[in-house]
Amino acid sequence: MAAASVSVPSIKLGSQGLEVSAQGLGCLGIPSSTALQGGGREMVELATKFVVSFADGKWEIRGDPAYVHAACEGSLKRLDIDCIDLYYQHRIDKKGLGCLGMPFFYGPPKPEPDMIKLIHHAVAAGVTLLDTADMYGPHTNEILLGKALQGGVREKVELATKFAVSFADGKWEIRGDPAYVHAACEGSLKRLGIDCIDLYYQHRIDKKVPIVQCTFPA
């Protein structure tokens, strides 16, 4: 019996409009594969991860530049390719700092210089994840973090921010339409003073918009 034909919809990712299938295949349970040979590589986008090192019978979380470089070279060699389409961090340090209470919500706004010192102290103490959102303030927390990330701090942390809670004309609104998500992302990048957000995720669910349209806007 012939296999049934299955049509998989496509989506576009990122500002360059990279087109990929809306469905992917996680390969954790596949011990080894030569599936990319014979033209298979040209038909797919390939993602792999780094940060979990195995040596001397022990697992270790590593993110130092020397390890990341060696891990990438190893992945390229094992996959027998010269370019990885999406190379990302598998784990982050367990220490993080949520920044909600800095500009508002828990009492009056705190002095900006004090909050920048707090962030710098946290990073010096080993915190490697800073979490914020465009609704915090709104917007003022991202501006604060943008100032705190200067002077080499950005290179020491993973940065997370969120979208979906819009504030306009004195009202809060949950939005997930593609035009809003694109504008919200651009706004966060500008306020944070960066060109890449490590983790950009949905703060609340807009039930009016299918999730695939919200998280992968055209």
16-20, 23-27, 67-71, 188-192: which is most confident:
188-192
Mean residue pLDDT across the chain: 82
Burial (0-12, 13-18, 19+ Cβ within 10 Å), 29: exposed
Q: What are phi and psi of 9, to 5 degrees?
A: -65, 160
**Over the stretch 154-165, which tens digit does the pLDDT of each residue have?**
999 989 999 999
Q: How many domains does the chain have?
A: 2
Following CA atoms 71, 74, 78, 80 in sequence, which dihedral angle do they give, to the nearest 10 degrees?
110
- What percent of the chain lies above the pLDDT cut of 70? 80
Least confident of 15-24, 53-62, 168-177: 15-24
CA-to-CA distance for 5 and 169, rounded, in angstroms? 50
152 and 202 within one domain: yes
User: Within 10 A of 102 (CB to CB), how many other CB atoms are there?
Assistant: 26
In a domain, 52, yes or no: yes
152 and 81 within one domain: no
100 and 87 within one domain: no
51 and 113 within one domain: no
198 and 144 within one domain: yes
Which of the listed residues 34, 65, 91 is the one where a domain comes to its end? 91
- Domain extent, residue 62, equals 43-91
Render 108-157 in DSSP notation, one character per residue: SPPPHHHHHHHHHHHHHTT--EEE--TTTTTTHHHHHHHHHTTTTTGGG-
Mean pLDDT of all residues in 12-19: 52
81 and 151 within one domain: no
Calculate ∠ Cα 30-34-35, nearest 5°: 80
- Catalytic positions are 136
164 and 129 within one domain: yes
In a domain, 31, yes or no: no
> Which residues partner with 110 through β-bridges?
none
122 and 195 within one domain: yes
pTM over 0.75: no
Least confident of 1-15, 22-36, 110-124: 1-15
- With H, G, I as helix, E, B as strand and everything else as coil, classify residue 179: helix
pLDDT at 70 over 50: yes
In a domain, 141, yes or no: yes
118 and 140 within one domain: yes
CA-to-CA distance for 114 and 149, rounded, in angstroms? 14
116 and 85 within one domain: no
Which of the listed residues 34, 58, 91 is the one where a domain comes to its end? 91
Mean pLDDT of all residues in 83-97: 75
In a domain, 24, yes or no: no
Question: Peptide bond before 138: cis, by omega within 30 degrees of 0?
Answer: yes
120 and 52 within one domain: no
81 and 50 within one domain: yes
Least confident of 60-74, 105-119, 133-147: 60-74
Which of the listed residues 91, 111, 127 is the one where a domain comes to its end? 91
Q: What are the b/e assignments for 174-202, b being 16+ CB within 10 Å?
A: ebbeeebbeebbeebbebbebeebeebeb
CA-to-CA distance for 3 and 204, rounded, in angstroms? 40
pLDDT at 186: 94
